[in-house]
């Protein structure tokens, strides 16, 4: 079976920004829904969302720059050019969490807010990664499987005329899976921090595995990519949060 030929033209390239914007809006909208279910003040979501968007973009870009600093030393004007690709979701997650915490630092129920944002983050990844596919960034390694894709337009950020793993779609599907799991088990996640911990573990494990199929440069730390190390830290934090909640609930029984 021949790999799918993906013609990435100018319209598709510009769709990158459209899908990223749609991801932020969908994430914000779902967070409002979750906030309402948890008895939180939904009117805070727009301001919270804007701060998370700003922190997320900054964190995603900073991690990308740290992974390949020489490129930006040679061409500093590329630093703000996010329309050419170069947003690392793991950095965006860290930057968004930090920005959200700073926005809510004087408010009660911080962990409940984190739980409310978790499904929206997963939904945002699901949508935003389609933009990565349109731009050809975050591309995969060589692939001989039936679902391999081949980029053919010179404007694509991916290598041309090579069958590649559609890692952008892997990321999108993993975001959708995480979102669905969080929604389906919502009633069982009764303790503040449960949803956040589960999100961190699911996201980290899936991202760690998908990294093995990526071919774009993401930095190296020993035998792993820099992104795998970052997601390993996220996974550890998620496990600690879940285990602490479990231990606390057993003491209260």
| 59 vs 12: CA distance, rounded Å | 25
DSSP letter for 82, please: G
Token code pair at residue 62: 């900073």
Q: Token pair 């550890």 is at which residue?
A: 236
129 is in an annotated binding site: yes
Name the H helices within the chain. Answer: 10-37, 45-67, 69-74, 89-104, 110-135, 167-184, 194-211, 226-251
The CA-atom distances, in angstroms, between 47 and each of 28, 32, 103, 104, 252 are 10, 11, 8, 10, 36
Annotated binding site: 129
């Amino acid at each position: 079976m021949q790999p799918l030929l993906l013609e990435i033209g100018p319209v598709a390239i510009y769709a990158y920004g459209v899908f990223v914007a749609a991801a932020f809006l969908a994430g914000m909208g779902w967070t409002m829904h979750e906030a309402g279910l948890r008895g939180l003040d939904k009117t805070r979501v727009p301001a919270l969302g804007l701060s998370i968007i700003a922190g997320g973009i900054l964190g995603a870009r900073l991690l990308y720059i740290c992974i390949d600093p020489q490129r930006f030393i040679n061409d500093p004007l590329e630093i703000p050019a996010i329309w050419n690709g170069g947003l690392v979701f793991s950095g965006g997650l860290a930057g968004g969490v930090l920005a959200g915490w700073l926005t809510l630092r004087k408010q009660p129920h911080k962990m409940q807010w984190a739980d409310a944002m978790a499904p929206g983050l997963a939904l945002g990844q699901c949508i935003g990664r389609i933009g990565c596919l349109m731009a050809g960034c975050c591309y995969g390694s060589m692939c001989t499987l039936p679902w391999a894709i081949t980029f053919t337009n010179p404007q694509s950020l991916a290598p041309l005329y090579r069958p590649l793993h559609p890692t952008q779609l892997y990321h999108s599907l993993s975001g959708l899976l995480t979102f669905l799991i969080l929604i389906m088990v919502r009633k069982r996640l009764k303790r503040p921090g449960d949803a956040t911990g589960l999100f961190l573990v699911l996201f980290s494990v899936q991202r760690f595995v998908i990294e093995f199929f990526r071919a774009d440069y993401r930095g190296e730390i020993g035998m792993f990519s820099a992104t795998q190390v970052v997601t390993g830290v996220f996974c550890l934090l998620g496990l600690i949060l879940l285990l602490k909640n479990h231990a606390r609930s057993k003491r209260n029984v």
